[in-house]
Structure 1
Amino acid sequence: MATGPPDVRLLFGPMLLGVFLNMILYGILIVQMLSYFKMYRNDSLYMKLFVGYLLVVETANTALDMHIMYEPLILNFGLPDTIKRFPTLFVTEPLIIVLVSTPIQLFFAWRIYKVTRSYWVPAVIFLFSITALAGGVWTTAKLGIIQLFSRKPELHTPALLWFLSASVADICITVALVVSLTRRKTGFERTDSVIDKIIRMSVQTGAVTAFFAVADVIFFMALPRTALNFIWDLALSKLYSNCLLSTLNARETLVNHPSLGSSNGNVNCNISASGPRRHTESFMPPRAPNCYELDTHVVKAREGSLVDDLEYGVTVTKVVEQLEEPAPKRSQW
């Protein structure tokens, strides 16, 4: 029984929506990167290079995605083969996604190690991240071979390896951060409110990328003859980059959190760090409540103090005030 031509609305329609979402997220990413380079000029060189790398890759991804839709809708409009083949540059999409997602997942794995001082959780994340990278490269190679929409089901095996591994890595990152930060609560209400905020942010950022990856898999498997999964797929790299930049830029908000000051706006305690060792300097006033120390290395905060990457490097130390009994007054007799 002969079948009719493919439904263009189910092929290029979802891809066009995915490109629109990609471009919207790119605009948000540019704003976040401008904020990052403005506020964190004293971040380490490797961190600036990492953010710069993401800017270059994401800019290239946006340009390629625009050409992906320009080719079938403008250059080859009306040609019979247009609705039969993937756009020529679509082969770059899975490769760019893993070139963004894998370094970001490895960065979070390193931060988890800095918080937990445990190797096994970062090792699991590393394993799934590298597996996702391999799946993305495999998908890229397979896509370059098949080229036809009708052969899209042949991408199932490499795409499943890619998306499921990436989803597991994202879930492991979120769970590890939530558990490790929950264990670091001190019992001080103000201090714990900062930790709760970090936990909420960790869950939100990790859940977004995991949700899009899982949705991509579900639509890919349930509707193999359509391109509906590309609504999620084409925006995935921008989600990873935006989640990373949102966590980096949130440090200023956490540094200025009300928990760091008293009710009248004065700072209750000086937060300091001088390399790998930890120490607490002067506290003001002498009986300042809810003071705590942040373990840190490189991030510059206001007034020249060094504080940690608060998003994933916070350790909280309870400070106990020691009071000495006053010496007995000497008798005047």
Structure 2
Amino acid sequence: MVRIIKGALEDLFGGTFVGNVCSTFLFGILTVQVVLYYIRFPQDGKWIRRIVGFLWVAIVFQTVCMTKMIWWWHIQNYFNPQALAKPKWEFSSYHLATTIESVVVQSFFVYRIWGLSSNIYVIAPLQALVITQFAFATTLLIEADIALSFDEVAHKWNWLVRVWLAIQATCDALIAMLMTFLLWHRKTGFKRTDRAIDTMVYWSVATGSATCFQSIILMGIFSHFGFTFSALVFGITLSSMYPISMLTSLHMRSKVRKQLSAPSTSEPLKALRTKVVISRERGEFIALAPYQPSNLVVNIHRSQHKDSPRSNIDQLGRDQVCLSDAEASTLRNSNYSDVEFGSAK
């Protein structure tokens, strides 16, 4: 009986089966991400936690429907040619999941861009593009459910698939570029903060480009060949990539926080002896000369110069620099609030 399945049917059965297996594997990864998210970030807002749960439920719905569709094809109606020509509505579950997942995740990233820029002229066109791709995806879903024919969707509505995937890929690319641009211009020159920003930029580009490239590849394959093996594998797994990209972005905060709160190595005293002492009250400075033996020790507070969260300021401590008598006299006369005087032990 295997020899009967040739050409298009072989691609159709194989692509649906392999695509569902890959999607189930991605669903397992997403499940782990969701569980870890609820454990790590209990302080997140209710709406974000509910969105994460909703996305997980949508992928569960797709996995169950596609598995049921494969069972109906391969077991219950294997000898029925009419069943092979027209699938049940469950076959469109992966497109329904992709439609929902893409608009929710893209809107979430648009909201994050709004938090970085607060520019309505940037956010409004981007969100309008997201809604446009959702409208095309919904139209395609309705037409596919009405037709329930592979040939009609692959030929009559091929242009609709291309437009939808092109707009969707454009949204993903614009989101990744805007996130990169806004984060890059927030660099401060401090190594710790810049390292954290580099991490956010990397994951923004990685998550955005993954869904963008997959949409472009799917558009190219489907527009030329229709429901082939590769088109089905890329199409069925696309829905899982959106919530995974969102959860990856949410989990990225743990690494960024560790980078910001990690204790930095204190500078050697020899380097501090030539450091410039800055007064936050008067905006003036005194350059300390190279070390000269003295019994006087100056404690220089580092809190106002430290690149760390505000809550950790009290834990930063202070640096000690040995000064000559002349330098100590100059600092005393200047009344700098950043320094304290004491005797060397």
TM-score by length of 1: 0.78
Partner of 2:333: 328
Whichever structure has more helix as a proportion of its residues is 2
Shift of 1:131: 1.1
Partner of 2:164: 162
CA contact (8 A) 1:128 1:165 kept: yes
Unmatched 5+ residue regions in structure 1?
265-284, 295-304, 307-323
SS in 1 for 2:166: helix
- What corresponds to 1:61 in structure 2? 62
2:45 maps to what in 1? 44
1:253 to 233, 252, 255: 255
Determine what percentage of the aligned residue pairs are the same residue.
Answer: 24
Quote the residue 1:180 is aligned against: 182
Give 1:286's aligned residue.
301
8 Å contact 2:110–2:175 — kept in the other structure?
yes
Q: 2:220 aligns with which of 202, 213, 218?
A: 218
Q: Which residue of 2 aligns with 1:274?
A: none
* Distance in 1 (alpha carbons) for counterparts of 2:249 and 2:167: 23
Counterpart-to-counterpart distance in 2, 1:39 and 1:53: 18
Give SS of 1:228's match: helix
Superimposed CA distance per residue, residues 201-236 of structure 1 (whole angstroms, 9 cap, x where no aligned partner): 111000100111111101101112635311111111
Letter in 1 for 2:17: L
The range that moved more, 76-85 or 164-173, is 76-85
The structure with more strand, counted as a fraction of residues: 2
Paired residues in the alignment total: 280
TM-score (normalised: structure 2) = 0.75
More deviation, 24-33/130-139: 130-139
1:76, distance to aligned residue in structure 2 (A):
0.8
- 1:7 is aligned to 8
Distance in 1, Cα, partners of 2:222 & 2:207: 23
Q: 1:199 aligns with which of 201, 204, 210?
A: 201
| Structure-2 separation of matches of 1:215 and 1:231 | 11
> Which residue number corresponds to residue 277 of structure 1?
none
**Aligned-residue offset at 1:45:** 1.0
One-letter amino acid of the counterpart of residue 162, structure 2: L
In structure 1, the partner of 2:143 is: 142
Residue aligning to 1:229: 231
Task: Give the secondary-structure state (helix, strand or coil) at the position aligned to 1:234.
Answer: helix
User: Where do residues 97-136 of structure 1 align in structure 2 (5 Å cutoff)?
Assistant: 97-136=98-137
- Give the Cα–Cα distance (whole angstroms) in 1 for the partners of residues 262 and 301 of structure 2: 15
Residues 164 and 214 of structure 1 are in contact (CA less than 8 Å); yes or no, is this contact kept in structure 2? yes
* Cross-structure match for 2:211: 209
For 1:256 and 1:143, locate their aligned partners in 2 and report how far apart those are by CA, in whole Å.
48
> Alpha-carbon deviation of 1:7?
3.2
Provide, for residues 129-184 of structure 1, a one-character-per-residue CA deviation record: whole Å limited to 9, x for no partner: 11111111111111112222222212213212321111111001000011111111
Task: Show the counterpart of 1:317.
Answer: none
